[in-house]
Amino acid sequence: MSRKTYSLSAVAIVAMAGLSFSSADSAEALAQDGVVEMAASGEASTEEVVEIVPEQSVFVSEEVVQPLPEASAQPVASAASLSELVAAIDSDQELTEQLHCLAGAVYFESRGEPLAGQLAVAEVVINRAEDNRWPASYCGVVYQRSQFSFVRGGRMPSINTSSPAWLRAKAVARIAHDGLWETEADGAVYFHAKYVRPGWSRAKTRLAQIDTHIFYR
Protein backbone atom coordinates (compact mmCIF):
# COMPACT_ATOMS: atom_id res chain seq x y z
CA MET A 1 0.00 0.00 0.00
CA SER A 2 1.37 3.47 -0.84
CA ARG A 3 2.08 6.09 1.78
CA LYS A 4 -0.83 8.25 0.55
CA THR A 5 -3.30 5.41 0.72
CA TYR A 6 -2.12 4.44 4.19
CA SER A 7 -2.69 7.98 5.53
CA LEU A 8 -6.20 8.14 4.13
CA SER A 9 -7.03 4.79 5.68
CA ALA A 10 -5.72 5.91 9.04
CA VAL A 11 -7.82 9.09 8.99
CA ALA A 12 -10.88 7.09 8.03
CA ILE A 13 -10.32 4.69 10.92
CA VAL A 14 -9.89 7.52 13.42
CA ALA A 15 -13.06 9.18 12.14
CA MET A 16 -15.02 5.98 12.50
CA ALA A 17 -13.64 5.41 15.97
CA GLY A 18 -14.68 8.94 16.94
CA LEU A 19 -18.25 8.23 15.98
CA SER A 20 -18.37 5.29 18.37
CA PHE A 21 -17.20 7.18 21.45
CA SER A 22 -19.73 7.09 24.31
CA SER A 23 -20.51 10.11 26.47
CA ALA A 24 -18.34 8.59 29.18
CA ASP A 25 -15.30 8.93 26.95
CA SER A 26 -15.87 12.62 26.13
CA ALA A 27 -13.55 13.84 28.85
CA GLU A 28 -10.73 11.67 27.59
CA ALA A 29 -11.28 13.02 24.06
CA LEU A 30 -11.06 16.61 25.35
CA ALA A 31 -7.85 15.80 27.19
CA GLN A 32 -6.34 14.48 23.96
CA ASP A 33 -7.35 17.73 22.23
CA GLY A 34 -5.43 19.58 24.90
CA VAL A 35 -2.32 17.58 24.16
CA VAL A 36 -2.62 18.44 20.48
CA GLU A 37 -3.00 22.17 21.28
CA MET A 38 0.12 22.05 23.48
CA ALA A 39 2.08 20.44 20.69
CA ALA A 40 0.98 23.17 18.29
CA SER A 41 2.11 25.92 20.67
CA GLY A 42 5.49 24.33 21.19
CA GLU A 43 4.89 23.44 24.81
CA ALA A 44 4.94 19.72 24.15
CA SER A 45 5.15 17.37 21.19
CA THR A 46 3.57 14.02 20.50
CA GLU A 47 3.38 11.69 17.53
CA GLU A 48 0.08 10.08 16.76
CA VAL A 49 0.43 6.39 15.96
CA VAL A 50 -2.43 4.58 14.31
CA GLU A 51 -2.34 0.82 14.54
CA ILE A 52 -4.37 -1.07 11.94
CA VAL A 53 -5.57 -4.38 13.28
CA PRO A 54 -7.10 -6.68 10.69
CA GLU A 55 -10.43 -8.20 11.47
CA GLN A 56 -10.33 -11.73 12.71
CA SER A 57 -11.09 -14.30 10.02
CA VAL A 58 -14.48 -15.91 10.28
CA PHE A 59 -14.68 -19.51 9.18
CA VAL A 60 -17.92 -20.86 7.78
CA SER A 61 -18.70 -24.42 8.67
CA GLU A 62 -20.94 -24.93 5.65
CA GLU A 63 -19.61 -26.73 2.58
CA VAL A 64 -18.33 -24.39 -0.12
CA VAL A 65 -19.27 -25.57 -3.59
CA GLN A 66 -17.45 -24.07 -6.57
CA PRO A 67 -19.52 -24.07 -9.77
CA LEU A 68 -17.99 -26.23 -12.50
CA PRO A 69 -18.22 -25.76 -16.27
CA GLU A 70 -21.13 -27.51 -17.86
CA ALA A 71 -20.33 -31.01 -19.00
CA SER A 72 -19.77 -31.50 -22.70
CA ALA A 73 -22.69 -32.95 -24.61
CA GLN A 74 -20.27 -35.25 -26.43
CA PRO A 75 -19.96 -38.80 -25.06
CA VAL A 76 -16.62 -39.77 -23.56
CA ALA A 77 -14.51 -42.37 -25.32
CA SER A 78 -15.85 -45.24 -23.21
CA ALA A 79 -17.66 -47.03 -26.01
CA ALA A 80 -16.72 -50.63 -26.67
CA SER A 81 -16.12 -49.96 -30.37
CA LEU A 82 -15.82 -47.12 -32.84
CA SER A 83 -19.17 -48.04 -34.37
CA GLU A 84 -20.77 -47.81 -30.94
CA LEU A 85 -19.24 -44.38 -30.42
CA VAL A 86 -20.41 -43.19 -33.84
CA ALA A 87 -23.94 -44.31 -32.97
CA ALA A 88 -23.77 -42.33 -29.70
CA ILE A 89 -22.91 -39.04 -31.40
CA ASP A 90 -25.78 -36.66 -32.02
CA SER A 91 -25.63 -36.40 -35.81
CA ASP A 92 -28.54 -33.96 -35.92
CA GLN A 93 -26.47 -31.25 -34.25
CA GLU A 94 -25.55 -28.45 -36.65
CA LEU A 95 -21.93 -28.36 -37.79
CA THR A 96 -19.69 -25.33 -37.76
CA GLU A 97 -18.14 -24.31 -41.07
CA GLN A 98 -14.83 -25.96 -40.17
CA LEU A 99 -16.43 -29.21 -39.05
CA HIS A 100 -18.51 -29.23 -42.21
CA CYS A 101 -15.29 -29.08 -44.26
CA LEU A 102 -13.83 -31.91 -42.19
CA ALA A 103 -16.96 -34.04 -42.55
CA GLY A 104 -17.04 -33.28 -46.28
CA ALA A 105 -13.52 -34.66 -46.69
CA VAL A 106 -14.53 -37.80 -44.83
CA TYR A 107 -17.68 -38.15 -46.93
CA PHE A 108 -16.12 -37.71 -50.36
CA GLU A 109 -12.80 -39.43 -49.73
CA SER A 110 -13.88 -42.41 -47.66
CA ARG A 111 -17.64 -42.89 -47.28
CA GLY A 112 -17.28 -46.40 -48.73
CA GLU A 113 -14.48 -47.26 -46.28
CA PRO A 114 -14.85 -48.82 -42.82
CA LEU A 115 -15.18 -46.36 -39.93
CA ALA A 116 -11.51 -46.77 -39.04
CA GLY A 117 -10.58 -45.64 -42.54
CA GLN A 118 -12.92 -42.66 -42.35
CA LEU A 119 -11.43 -41.65 -39.01
CA ALA A 120 -7.94 -41.89 -40.50
CA VAL A 121 -8.89 -39.53 -43.36
CA ALA A 122 -10.22 -37.03 -40.81
CA GLU A 123 -6.95 -37.39 -38.91
CA VAL A 124 -4.95 -36.37 -41.99
CA VAL A 125 -6.97 -33.15 -42.39
CA ILE A 126 -6.62 -32.31 -38.69
CA ASN A 127 -2.88 -33.02 -38.65
CA ARG A 128 -2.32 -30.84 -41.70
CA ALA A 129 -4.24 -27.97 -40.10
CA GLU A 130 -1.89 -28.23 -37.10
CA ASP A 131 1.25 -28.34 -39.28
CA ASN A 132 2.70 -25.04 -40.52
CA ARG A 133 3.36 -26.59 -43.95
CA TRP A 134 -0.38 -26.44 -44.66
CA PRO A 135 -3.19 -23.92 -44.08
CA ALA A 136 -4.17 -23.49 -40.44
CA SER A 137 -7.83 -24.53 -40.73
CA TYR A 138 -9.81 -27.56 -41.87
CA CYS A 139 -11.41 -25.64 -44.72
CA GLY A 140 -8.03 -24.23 -45.75
CA VAL A 141 -6.60 -27.74 -45.91
CA VAL A 142 -9.55 -29.20 -47.82
CA TYR A 143 -9.72 -26.41 -50.37
CA GLN A 144 -5.98 -26.11 -50.89
CA ARG A 145 -5.30 -26.36 -54.60
CA SER A 146 -4.55 -29.81 -56.05
CA GLN A 147 -4.81 -31.65 -52.75
CA PHE A 148 -8.20 -33.36 -52.79
CA SER A 149 -9.59 -34.61 -56.08
CA PHE A 150 -13.22 -34.18 -55.06
CA VAL A 151 -12.76 -30.38 -54.84
CA ARG A 152 -13.43 -28.91 -58.27
CA GLY A 153 -13.12 -25.26 -59.08
CA GLY A 154 -12.57 -24.48 -55.42
CA ARG A 155 -15.97 -25.92 -54.51
CA MET A 156 -17.22 -29.01 -52.72
CA PRO A 157 -19.86 -31.03 -54.61
CA SER A 158 -23.35 -31.20 -53.21
CA ILE A 159 -23.91 -33.67 -50.38
CA ASN A 160 -26.88 -35.94 -49.87
CA THR A 161 -27.44 -34.68 -46.33
CA SER A 162 -30.21 -37.19 -45.63
CA SER A 163 -28.02 -40.21 -46.38
CA PRO A 164 -26.64 -42.51 -43.66
CA ALA A 165 -23.17 -41.94 -45.14
CA TRP A 166 -23.35 -38.21 -44.38
CA LEU A 167 -24.61 -38.83 -40.84
CA ARG A 168 -21.66 -41.16 -40.26
CA ALA A 169 -19.22 -38.65 -41.75
CA LYS A 170 -20.55 -35.95 -39.41
CA ALA A 171 -20.13 -38.23 -36.41
CA VAL A 172 -16.61 -39.27 -37.47
CA ALA A 173 -15.63 -35.62 -37.91
CA ARG A 174 -16.76 -34.79 -34.37
CA ILE A 175 -14.98 -37.82 -32.93
CA ALA A 176 -11.73 -36.93 -34.71
CA HIS A 177 -11.96 -33.24 -33.81
CA ASP A 178 -12.56 -34.00 -30.12
CA GLY A 179 -9.96 -36.80 -30.03
CA LEU A 180 -12.47 -39.34 -28.71
CA TRP A 181 -10.97 -42.39 -30.42
CA GLU A 182 -7.43 -43.41 -31.36
CA THR A 183 -6.60 -44.10 -34.97
CA GLU A 184 -4.06 -46.40 -36.58
CA ALA A 185 -3.00 -43.43 -38.72
CA ASP A 186 -2.01 -41.25 -35.79
CA GLY A 187 0.33 -38.53 -37.06
CA ALA A 188 -0.48 -39.13 -40.74
CA VAL A 189 -0.44 -36.16 -43.14
CA TYR A 190 -0.59 -38.06 -46.46
CA PHE A 191 -2.65 -40.91 -47.89
CA HIS A 192 -3.47 -42.46 -51.23
CA ALA A 193 -5.49 -45.34 -52.62
CA LYS A 194 -3.64 -48.65 -52.69
CA TYR A 195 -4.19 -49.07 -56.44
CA VAL A 196 -1.92 -46.09 -57.21
CA ARG A 197 1.69 -45.45 -56.28
CA PRO A 198 2.56 -41.76 -56.35
CA GLY A 199 6.24 -40.86 -56.52
CA TRP A 200 6.16 -38.94 -53.24
CA SER A 201 5.20 -42.08 -51.28
CA ARG A 202 8.75 -43.48 -51.54
CA ALA A 203 10.07 -40.57 -49.49
CA LYS A 204 7.45 -40.86 -46.74
CA THR A 205 7.12 -43.07 -43.68
CA ARG A 206 4.30 -45.54 -44.06
CA LEU A 207 2.08 -45.76 -40.98
CA ALA A 208 -0.88 -47.96 -41.82
CA GLN A 209 -3.08 -49.42 -44.52
CA ILE A 210 -6.78 -49.35 -43.77
CA ASP A 211 -8.88 -51.07 -46.40
CA THR A 212 -8.09 -49.28 -49.70
CA HIS A 213 -6.05 -46.36 -48.28
CA ILE A 214 -2.40 -46.20 -47.21
CA PHE A 215 -1.36 -43.49 -44.74
CA TYR A 216 2.02 -41.80 -44.28
CA ARG A 217 3.80 -39.10 -42.35
The pLDDT assigned to 76 comes to: 53
Mean pLDDT, residues 128-156: 96
Q: Is the pLDDT of residue 31 over 80?
A: no
Distance of CA 61 to the CA centre of its chain: 34
Q: What would the mean pLDDT of 132-141 be, rounded to a whole number?
A: 98
CB-neighbour burial class of residue 79 (10 A; exposed 0-12, middle 13-18, buried 19+): middle
* Percent of the chain at pLDDT exceeding 90: 62
pLDDT value at position 64? 41
Could you give the 3-state DSSP secondary structure of residue 106?
A: helix
CATH class of 82-216: mainly alpha
> What is the per-residue pLDDT across 90-124, written as a single tens digit (0 to 9) for each?
988 899 999 999 999 999 999 999 999 999 999 99
Q: What is the mean pLDDT of residues 43-70?
A: 42
Is residue 152 exposed (0-12), middle (13-18) or buried (19+ Cβ within 10 Å)?
A: exposed
CATH 1.10.10.2520 residue window(s) in the chain: 82-216
Burial class of residue 120, CB neighbours in 10 A (0-12, 13-18, 19+): buried
Average pLDDT over residues 132-145: 97
| Candidate from 29-38, 72-81, 93-102, 133-142 with smallest mean pLDDT | 29-38
pLDDT in tens, 182-217: 999 999 999 999 999 999 999 999 999 999 999 999
The CA-based diameter of the chain, rounded to the nearest angstrom, is: 109
Whole-model pTM?
0.65
Please give the average per-residue pLDDT across 140-146, as a whole number: 96
* Mean pLDDT across the chain: 77
* pLDDT band per the 50, 70, 90 thresholds, residue 78: confident
